Amino acid sequence: MSSTHAALQTVVNLHRNTNSSGPSSALKHPSSSKIESSATRLQSIDTGLLAELFDLSSDVAFFVKDRDGCYVFVNNSLVARHGLKSKSDVIGKRPSEICPGDFGQIPTEQDSKVLKTGRPLVDHLEMQWHRPHDPVWCLTTKLPIRDAENRVVGLIGFSRDIRQSLELQDIPSSLVQALRDFEKSLSSDVTPSLLAKRADLSAQRLSRLTKRLFGLTPSQLITKTRIAAASRLLRDSSDTISNIAHSCGFCDHSAFTRAFRSATGVTPSEYRNAGS
């Protein structure tokens, strides 16, 4: 568990333990009075202070949402990513209301699932955009906030940019070669275990290395490599989407579309059209 994830979990636990008077009346639908009530409720765990802390981190989009998936607190980075000017342009709205199409619908669906099931979303690899059209890879974590009676009353989370700058000497030469070979072929049979074998590393050693060097699990690194290659081909070539899918190691067009939409929030066709 990352230190940021652990800090969020501490805040969630503190909220549960300090609100023992019964179920929260905060985290309702976004009328101004109810948003104010949510803010007052969440201030008891210094969530506003946490938002101010994340204001200092331009590579992290921080948020707290109510039981309806509407923003209660955000940091400045989240506002800027959507091309907006003020936090007031975001508060009380769902992602689908501030970001058009699947870019807003995907996180809204994620929120709904976390709020409905109470199960966290941890280190979900996805591509997001800094407006107007600057793609960046992120790891998104969302944790449910529960009241004293264990009912989900909202969620807290962040999306962290993956922008590591690495020197080749930081990576074992065997892993460098294995990654180069994979990037050249993008073979569909490459799995974490096969990558570990080609790099002459144990699965555990590979996992520790990719997490330390890239902030990703081996599976996430493989997916990121495939999707990044596909993104370049969609943008820079006129090849068909089916051919791009096969060249990037996907078994068929449908599997590619599902993986690409899961990672980027849009279909390959929508991505290509947006860049044209």
Q: What are 124-152's pLDDT values in tens digits?
A: 877 776 665 566 778 899 999 998 899 99
Total number of domains constituting the chain: 2
Task: Report the distance separating Cα 71 and Cα 93, nearest Å.
Answer: 6
What percentage of the chain reaches a pLDDT higher than 70?
Answer: 77
Clarify whether residues 41 and 120 are in a common domain.
yes
Mark which of 131, 161, 191 sits at the end of a domain.
Answer: 161
Q: What is the pLDDT of the chain when averaged over all its residues?
A: 81
Q: How confident is the model at residue 236 (pLDDT cuts 50, 70, 90)?
A: confident
Q: What's the average model confidence in pLDDT over 77-83?
A: 90
Q: How confident is the model at residue 20 (pLDDT cuts 50, 70, 90)?
A: very low
Q: What's the average model confidence in pLDDT over 25-52?
A: 57
Clarify whether residues 23 and 137 are in a common domain.
yes
Dihedral angle of Cα 138, 6, 41, 64, to the nearest 10 degrees: 0
Q: What are 95-119's pLDDT values in tens digits?
A: 999 887 767 888 899 999 999 999 9
Could you list the residue range(s) of the whole structural domain that residue 145 is in?
A: 3-161
Clarify whether residues 153 and 189 are in a common domain.
no
Clarify whether residues 24 and 103 are in a common domain.
yes
What pLDDT sits at residue 42? 46
Predicted confidence (pLDDT) at residue 7 exceeds the cutoff of 60: no
Clarify whether residues 39 and 125 are in a common domain.
yes
Task: Report the distance separating Cα 161 and Cα 54, nearest Å.
Answer: 13
Clarify whether residues 224 and 195 are in a common domain.
yes
Clarify whether residues 28 and 121 are in a common domain.
yes
Clarify whether residues 10 and 135 are in a common domain.
yes
Clarify whether residues 146 and 197 are in a common domain.
no
> Can you tell me which residue has the tokens 């144990």?
202
Task: Report the distance separating Cα 152 and Cα 129, nearest Å.
Answer: 29
Output 228 or 41, whichever has higher pLDDT.
Answer: 228
HSE on the CB side for 26, CA within 13 Å? 24
Q: How confident is the model at residue 9 (pLDDT cuts 50, 70, 90)?
A: low
CATH classification of the domain holding 241 = 1.10.10.60
Clarify whether residues 49 and 117 are in a common domain.
yes
CB 183 within 8 A of CB 170: no
Q: What are 246-274's pLDDT values in tens digits?
A: 999 998 899 999 999 888 888 999 888 87
Q: Annotate the chain with three-state secondary structure.
A: CCHHHHHHHHHHHHHHHHCCCCCCCCCCCCCHHHHHHHHHHHHCCCHHHHHHHHCCCCCEEEEEEECCCCEEEECHHHHHHCCCCCHHHCCCCCHHHHCCCHHHHHHHHHHHHHHHHCCCEEEEEEEEEECCCEEEEEEEEEEEEECCCCCEEEEEEEEEECCCCCCHHHCCHHHHHHHHHHHHHCCCCCCHHHHHHHCCCCHHHHHHHHHHHHCCCHHHHHHHHHHHHHHHHHHHCCCCHHHHHHHCCCCCHHHHHHHHHHHHCCCHHHHHHHCC
Clarify whether residues 110 and 197 are in a common domain.
no
Clarify whether residues 124 and 219 are in a common domain.
no
Mark which of 161, 189, 204 sits at the end of a domain.
Answer: 161
Q: How confident is the model at residue 122 (pLDDT cuts 50, 70, 90)?
A: confident
CATH classification of the domain holding 141 = 3.30.450.20
Mark which of 113, 135, 161 sits at the end of a domain.
Answer: 161
